Amino acid sequence: MAEQVGIGKIAALHFYGTAETVERVELLGSTVEIQHFGCDGDLEKMAAHIAALDGQVGAIALTSLSKTLRLGKVKVTHPAAAPLFEIAQQTPVVDGAGVRAAMERWAVRLADEAQPGIWSRKRVLMAPGLNHSGLAQALGQFTESVRYADPIVYFALPPVPGVGSVDTLSRVAEPTLNQLRAYPFRRLFPRAGEAARPRNPKQFEWADILAGDMGGIRRYAPSDLKRKIIVTELATEEDVADLRERGASAIVTTMPPLGHELAHLGAAVFEACLVALRPDKTAELTENTYLNLMAQMAWKPGIQYLQPDEAGINKFAFVIHPLSPRFIYTHPKFRWTRFLPERLVERVAAYLPPMYGSRITGIQSPATGQKVEGYLMFIGGTPRELMRRDPAFVYRRLIRASRMAERYGARLMGLGAFTSVVGDAGITVAQKADIAITSGNSLTVAATLETAKQAVVKMGNSLDDAHEGKVMVIGATGSIGSVCSRLLAQAVPNIVLVAPRPEKLIALKQTIEEETPNAVVTLSTTADDYVGDCDLIVTTTTALNTRIIDITKCKPGAVICDIARPPDITEEEAALRPDVLVIESGEILLPGKPDFGMNIGLPPGVAYACLAETALLALDGRFEDYTLGRNIEIERVKEIYRLYKKHGLELSGIRSHDHFLTDEDLAKKRALADALRNDPVKLADVQRQAQAALPVKGGRGKVKQGGGRTTTILVSAGTAIVAAIAGLFFWRKNK
């Protein structure tokens, strides 16, 4: 009879506490009644309870103590605990060791499935690692940075190099355990409270994740736990309140929640429940017995975000770099480098590792309510350094940047400026990074065409009717230029394609004619022969000290969308024809109240399109490689435009040479254009005067590069970002 009395009923003897309570939990389709007894830190009292409960319950759980102490692969028996497990003759006595390691491994895996990236590349501090080998091993699958706080917690040692490392653990585990086996349980499994001897906070500050015993973490960790994740077996309301007040980001419990948001019952009580529920009461209590019962469970570890502004946020990162050494000189800490040779500064900077720049907050979709957070990351190479080196040199830094981004929780990284086109334009980086990668060029194309459309309407030229007028794309065979050409041909069938390589032009013409049979496509290796006939000109080249287009020949009211960097049309050249509208690619107004953490050279909330694409994909939860390589897919451009509309992104306005144009500015230009359209004599006079004042440049009319790497780099608009913010090139410590 005694064998059946305890079915569905267990006892939990708590080393700490005095209260006696009863609760019922549901597990594996059965109800388990748990009788809780406090022992007030008295092992003799605990022994008396065991003797009294023997044969009366299905299992007895002993909490806050352990028969076996384990560190890494080494284990020893604690002499004070061992006798407790010999008292009961009928009822099994357990301390959680039979299930803890397996449940910790399982919980870590399930938490990663529920919150992808929650562990990736994080710095983990086991606080302590004693009896948590499963947790340490499981977290070690997601990061190479695992340390042990056991020397700090138990011996108050300072965080000297090597102490607490995984490599050191195997050498010191045995002598450490031989010393710990003489410690009382109050020191081995401490309760929350003030430490009699404060511990050095450096290791705790280093970590992103504190994993181990709740009591030890609360007792020995510093008061500031901002942005840290706490991983323990269980948590009480008091634990949660304390961690929230100390700024911790989230808490994850590794035992089944059993009716609560977080687990409130530890491994010992859970093991006792399994003992009571096992079908064969004579089955040996081994890990295999428990595993077969656990395999029947459908559960999720408790995950609770403690700070309201951090819950449910999708995270992304974006990589930029300095346009030239002068952007390094402008940083207050590195002004002294201006006294060094420029090439020396430039070459040394290229070897710098990726660095944190700033945190982007406040972006939120009005359609879904989804919030996103971003991180600006810097690498040190200037365009000249990035292009002169083997692509592998840049790949290594971008892959390292992606790992840093993972540590911050980012699941997507955008490649800005020259980083988006070095080598194979992001394909290799995407293959080797564990997070998604995009160049941002799809939204750059969409924003460029949307801005051009609005500008054409404002200027009232022939393209205001989609089937009238003519457009020109300079640099048409490049990755940006080709997709712009194909999309423009669908809207304005009369199109001129300009690029230096005839064979590529012919191939592009054939593609356009297959896609848009009614398109009238004209090819040219120079722009000047057709520039006077075009209402819209999109230029995507790079032309240092070379004139790509003669603005003096343009039609009145023509729109030039200059997305090259450096720009093909200088501000001085644009001033010669005030009736012609020269604009940049579109900047994007992000939804919500964006804060970039630094001045990026644009009005509040406004981002360049390549950065906006990365944020937009995060808003939509699209953590996938999106725009990669040199062939931008039209369907991707159309899709990103639909997402742009869905999540409430907007063009910030029409911008020319770093200045936003007002409606009044545009009205004046249109009035000048209308006057010249109606007066051919005056137009000829204006063109003649402009030609006479045109600055001299080396070379005219020949397109230097329409489709190579540099085109894509500069068209991406990432260089514009660098030009605005690379003065803050070296990181500010993330607080």
571 touches 583 (CB < 8 A): no
DSSP codes, 258-303: TTSSS--S-HHHHHHHHHHH-S-TTS---HHHHHHHHTT-----EE
**The pLDDT of residue 697 is above 70:** no
Q: Supply 542's token pair.
A: 């790079």
pLDDT of 7 reads 54
Are residues 576 and 619 located together in one domain of the fold? no
pLDDT, tens digit, 9 for 90 and up, residues 258-274:
988 999 999 999 999 99
Residue 648 lies in a domain: no
Residues 6+ apart with CB under 8 A from 302: 235, 251, 252, 253, 257, 260, 261, 262, 263
Using CA atoms, how far apart are residues 720 and 735, in angstroms rounded to an integer?
27
Are residues 162 and 298 located together in one domain of the fold? yes
131 touches 97 (CB < 8 A): yes
| pLDDT band for position 575 (cuts 50, 70, 90) | very high
Using CA atoms, how far apart are residues 733 and 718, in angstroms rounded to an integer?
23
Query: Any bridge partners for residue 127, and if so which?
Result: 212
Domain boundary among 30, 60, 94: 94
Give the number of other Cβ atoms within 10 Å of residue 391's Cβ. 17
| pLDDT band for position 548 (cuts 50, 70, 90) | confident
Using CA atoms, how far apart are residues 657 and 655, in angstroms rounded to an integer?
7
pLDDT of 164 reads 72
Are residues 115 and 200 located together in one domain of the fold? yes
Using CA atoms, how far apart are residues 392 and 400, in angstroms rounded to an integer?
12
pLDDT of 717 reads 37
How much helix, strand and coil, in percent to the nearest 5, is found in the chain? 40, 20, 40
pLDDT of 401 reads 95
Using CA atoms, how far apart are residues 540 and 525, in angstroms rounded to an integer?
14
Residue 473 lies in a domain: yes
Using CA atoms, how far apart are residues 13 and 22, in angstroms rounded to an integer?
12
Which residue, 110, 108, 178, is CA-closest to 146? 108
Q: Which of 3-12, 194-203, 302-311, 392-401 has the lowest mean pLDDT?
A: 3-12
Q: What pTM value is reported for the model?
A: 0.81
pLDDT of 631 reads 87
Using CA atoms, how far apart are residues 358 and 725, in angstroms rounded to an integer?
11
Q: Is 527 exposed, middle or buried (0-12, 13-18, 19+ CB in 10 A)?
A: buried
Are residues 582 and 693 located together in one domain of the fold? yes
Give the number of other Cβ atoms within 10 Å of residue 202's Cβ. 12
Q: Is 598 exposed, middle or buried (0-12, 13-18, 19+ CB in 10 A)?
A: middle
Using CA atoms, how far apart are residues 194 and 220, in angstroms rounded to an integer?
8
The residue ranking higher by pLDDT, 161 or 387, is: 387
Residue 159 lies in a domain: yes
DSSP codes, 531-573: GGG-SEEEE----TT-B---GGGSPTT-EEEE--SS-SS-HHH
Are residues 306 and 333 located together in one domain of the fold? no
Are residues 361 and 463 located together in one domain of the fold? no
Are residues 501 and 573 located together in one domain of the fold? yes
pLDDT of 331 reads 63
Using CA atoms, how far apart are residues 516 and 536, in angstroms rounded to an integer?
19
Residues 6+ apart with CB under 8 A from 714: 540, 542, 563, 564, 565, 566
Residue 647 lies in a domain: no
Using CA atoms, how far apart are residues 35 and 19, in angstroms rounded to an integer?
11
How many Cα atoms sit within 13 Å of 549 on the Cβ side? 38
Q: What is the DSSP letter of 434?
A: S
| pLDDT band for position 4 (cuts 50, 70, 90) | very low
| pLDDT band for position 545 (cuts 50, 70, 90) | low
Are residues 664 and 571 located together in one domain of the fold? yes
Q: Supply 485's token pair.
A: 């050409």
pLDDT, tens digit, 9 for 90 and up, residues 301-337:
999 999 988 888 999 999 988 877 877 776 666 778 8
Using CA atoms, how far apart are residues 329 and 324, in angstroms rounded to an integer?
10
Helices (H), 181-236: 185-188, 202-206, 214-220
**The pLDDT of residue 180 is above 70:** yes
pLDDT of 543 reads 53
Using CA atoms, how far apart are residues 472 and 475, in angstroms rounded to an integer?
10
Mean pLDDT of 547-571: 87
pLDDT of 566 reads 65
pLDDT of 345 reads 86
| pLDDT band for position 385 (cuts 50, 70, 90) | confident
The kind and range of the H/E element at 472 are strand 471-474
Are residues 720 and 710 located together in one domain of the fold? no
Look up tokens 């919030």; give the residue.
371
pLDDT of 730 reads 37
**The pLDDT of residue 715 is above 50:** no
Mean pLDDT of 167-175: 84
pLDDT, tens digit, 9 for 90 and up, residues 509-532:
999 999 999 999 999 999 988 999
Q: Supply 82's token pair.
A: 């061992």
pLDDT of 703 reads 47
Q: Which of 402-411, 554-563, 701-710 has the lowest mean pLDDT?
A: 701-710
Q: Which of 19-33, 232-246, 321-335, 582-596 has the lowest mean pLDDT?
A: 321-335
How many Cα atoms sit within 13 Å of 492 on the Cβ side? 27
pLDDT of 343 reads 86
- Determine the structural domain holding residue 234 and report its residue range: 100-265+289-310
Helices (H), 150-213: 150-155, 166-180, 185-188, 202-206
Using CA atoms, how far apart are residues 351 and 407, in angstroms rounded to an integer?
22
Are residues 382 and 502 located together in one domain of the fold? no
How many Cα atoms sit within 13 Å of 684 on the Cβ side? 3
Where does residue 303 fall: left (phi above 0), alpha (psi -120 to 50 degrees), or beta otherwise? beta
**The pLDDT of residue 463 is above 90:** no
The mean pLDDT of the chain is 88
Using CA atoms, how far apart are residues 732 and 735, in angstroms rounded to an integer?
9
| pLDDT band for position 725 (cuts 50, 70, 90) | very low
Are residues 63 and 105 located together in one domain of the fold? no
pLDDT of 5 reads 41
Residue 562 lies in a domain: yes
| pLDDT band for position 464 (cuts 50, 70, 90) | low
Q: Which of 242-256, 370-384, 557-571, 630-644 has the lowest mean pLDDT?
A: 557-571
pLDDT of 338 reads 82
Using CA atoms, how far apart are residues 101 and 312, in angstroms rounded to an integer?
29
691 touches 685 (CB < 8 A): no
Q: What angle do CA 697, 701, 702 make, to 5 degrees?
A: 105
Mean pLDDT of 119-135: 95
Give the number of domains in the chain.
4
| pLDDT band for position 705 (cuts 50, 70, 90) | very low
Query: How far is residue 510 from each of residues 486, 519, 523, measured CA to CA in Å?
Result: 11, 11, 11
Packed helices 479-491 and 634-646: angle between N→C axes, nearest 10 degrees: 80
Residues written for the chain? 735
Name the amino acid, one letter, at 656. S
Which residue, 382, 439, 415, 406, is CA-closest to 726? 382
pLDDT, tens digit, 9 for 90 and up, residues 73-99:
899 999 999 999 999 999 999 999 999
Name the amino acid, one letter, at 60. I
Domain boundary among 94, 119, 134: 94
pLDDT, tens digit, 9 for 90 and up, residues 271-292:
999 999 998 888 888 888 899 9
Using CA atoms, how far apart are residues 168 and 165, in angstroms rounded to an integer?
5
Mean pLDDT of 457-468: 73
Using CA atoms, how far apart are residues 221 and 205, in angstroms rounded to an integer?
9
pLDDT of 718 reads 37
Residue 19 lies in a domain: yes
**The pLDDT of residue 733 is above 90:** no
Look up tokens 């009788």; give the residue.
35
Residue 272 lies in a domain: no
Residue 107 lies in a domain: yes
Q: What is the DSSP letter of 507?
A: H
**The pLDDT of residue 724 is above 60:** no
DSSP codes, 3-36: HHHTTTEEEEEESS---EEEEEEEETTEEEEEEE
**The pLDDT of residue 381 is above 70:** yes
**The pLDDT of residue 713 is above 60:** no
**The pLDDT of residue 2 is above 70:** no
Per-residue burial over 429-438, b if 16 or more Cβ lie within 10 Å, else e, is bbeebebbbb
Q: Supply 234's token pair.
A: 């269980």
Using CA atoms, how far apart are residues 187 and 153, in angstroms rounded to an integer?
9
The residue ranking higher by pLDDT, 285 or 107, is: 107
Domain boundary among 74, 94, 114: 94
Using CA atoms, how far apart are residues 446 and 416, in angstroms rounded to an integer?
17
Q: What angle do CA 249, 255, 258 make, to 5 degrees?
A: 100
Mean pLDDT of 467-482: 87
**The pLDDT of residue 442 is above 50:** yes
The kind and range of the H/E element at 505 are helix 502-515
Are residues 160 and 54 located together in one domain of the fold? no
DSSP codes, 473-490: EETTTSHHHHHHHHHHHH
